[in-house]
Amino acid sequence: MQIAFLSNNPLNSVVVDAGTGQRLYNICTPYGVGKRKTTIHDAWGRTVAKYKRRWGRDQIELYGMTRSVSSWLPSDSLFTRSRRFVAPNGRTYVWKKLWGKSKFKVRAFAALPAFAKCSPIIVQLVDHHTNQVVARSHNARSSLWSSKRISIEVDPQVVPVLDAIVLSFIICEKDRRDQEEATAATSAVIV
């Protein structure tokens, strides 16, 4: 299954099944100063998750349980940007950033269309227990004006935990973009 964000802003986007066009989620973050809350609604308008950002105390709410982001989606280690979470199915998954651009490596996704096999990969989700890649993101860009849309190729076995995958992805993608912006700002000051 391939899901696509219709906006380049993962915190304000409609998410659809790219194959059918069916709406899966509506992700919205009202504009405001201070406390920011992103809400993920399913296709029927039910709230499935919330991501609340507060200085040093970010929280998620998923399936009625509230946890700190640092306990639900901790960094894998001090020396990596990988983030791990335990999904509702009890399995641990790890988002891993791939450095640079690489060609799509076909393992579990042999039936993908040709365009997907050559897309740059930004992050991939790995089942910690089997080391199998279960999801890959494509075309995530930091610029709000980019024409490239974010999409995630999801292995059918993890579709039942798609809510948790989407929530964890938008948090990781927001952090990645924030870090990119900070690096660009620092580079501009140094030059």
- Residue 84's domain spans which residues? 2-190
Q: What is the CATH number of the domain that holds 52?
A: 2.40.160
pLDDT in tens, 71-129: 999 987 766 778 999 999 999 999 998 755 433 333 334 444 443 344 455 789 999 99
Q: Provide mean pLDDT across the span 134-138.
A: 91
- Pair 115, 101: CB distance under 8 Å: no
- Looking only at the bridges linking them, the beta strands covering 47-53 and 59-62 are antiparallel
pLDDT in tens, 157-189: 999 999 999 999 999 998 888 877 777 667 655
Overall number of domains in the chain: 1
